[in-house]
Amino acid sequence: MDVWRAVCEHYVVSGMVVCWCVVWLYNLATRGVCKSKARMEGKTVIITGADSGIGKATAFDLAGRGARVIMAGINVDQAYYVRKQIIEKTLNNNIIVKSIDLSDMLSVRQFAEDINRTEPRLDVLIHNAGVLFPGKLTTDQGLDMTFATNHFGPFLLTHLLLDLLKRTGRSRIVLVASSMHIAGKLDLSNPNPKKDASTSRLLFSWNMYCSSKLACILCARELARRLEGSEVTVNCLHPGLVCTSIVWNPCANVVGERLYSFFLPFLKTTRQGAQTTIHLAVSEEVEGVTGKYFSNCKERTPATLTGDVEFAEKYWRLCEDIVGLDHSITRNVCPS
């Protein structure tokens, strides 16, 4: 009996190891890589959340291509530290740090005013910053913190910089979303979601993250539709499951660090996670491509709701009201 048990345990463990290796190799083989060698001298790029994670990896890559990189974020001290690292590695001194709190609409407006006043061009706007705040946290404007940072802030910033993007000519807007948008829900009667007393902190936080990413893709595709005929393109992406604080902190708390460490080899590094962002920012393959959703540098199909034009138009107007945009102004900027 003991022999049989030992044999069974041996084969079970061996089978698990083999399966683990097969999945790991498949995961490694299917990770998309930006193959473009395009240079970016003379071009200006804004990257939100460039002080860590995917944004940091993106900043390193684009700086290495010669771009003028504006690192926009809330942690200015950390951004300056990363700026020093980028300059040392790439020898590109044209790296700028500017402060912005995407959850604060006043901060977004101040940042946009500064950019419009000081920058003659903007070739690529990369909305990389993303958060998953625990529980129900609200901003001074009464917005859910996660939703404001992931959607409302980028929505407002895009509108305020759109004229500059248009004047530049061929320019790109890139939004880092998530495949988890498929689990999100948007309610036209409740565009700024409120926590239900019956909903747990963890579930509410997760719902806000997924729904904010759904809103991001929905409005990006609507913006692309409104910008048809212009030289500004708008695309979204899923970076993959990347080893960042958004993934690490909630998962480690739930399953424990030891068990979570078992899954680490299946996660992308930040450099791997940045590949689709870089692809959409520089690749000749996507020149003129707009209103699409990508993963692993390939076009994918997002949730059905993101293609509902009637719903998107209604939700768009609600977002305008929430962030304080005049409908008549946005009609002139983004004609339907």
SS3 labels along the chain: CHHHHHHHHHHHHHHHHHHHHHHHHHHHHCCCCCCCCCCCCCCEEEEECCCCHHHHHHHHHHHHCCCEEEEEECCHHHHHHHHHHHHHHHCCCCEEEEECCCCCHHHHHHHHHHHHHHCCCCCEEEECCCCCCCCCCECCCCCEHHHHHHHHHHHHHHHHHHHHHHHHCCEEEEEECCHHHHHCCCCCCCCCCCCCCCCCHHHHHHHHHHHHHHHHHHHHHHHHHHCCCCCEEEEEEECCCECCHHHHHHHHHHHCHHHHHHHHHHCECHHHHCHHHHHHHHCHHHCCCCCEEEECCEEECCCHHHHCHHHHHHHHHHHHHHHCCCHHHHHHHCCC
Tokens of 216: 């991001």
Q: Do the bridges between strand 298-300 and strand 292-295 make them parallel or antiparallel, or are there none, so unpaired?
A: antiparallel
Q: Which of 209, 260, 293, 315 is catalytic?
A: 209
**Rounded to 5 degrees, what angle do the CA atoms 283, 156, 137 make?**
110
Q: What φ, ψ does residue 47 adopt, rounded to 5°?
A: -125, 115
Residue 209 falls in the annotated catalytic set: yes
Tokens of 225: 């539709």
Residue bearing tokens 């959850």: 103
Separation CA 285–CA 280 (nearest Å): 9
Separation CA 230–CA 224 (nearest Å): 9
Catalytic residues: 209
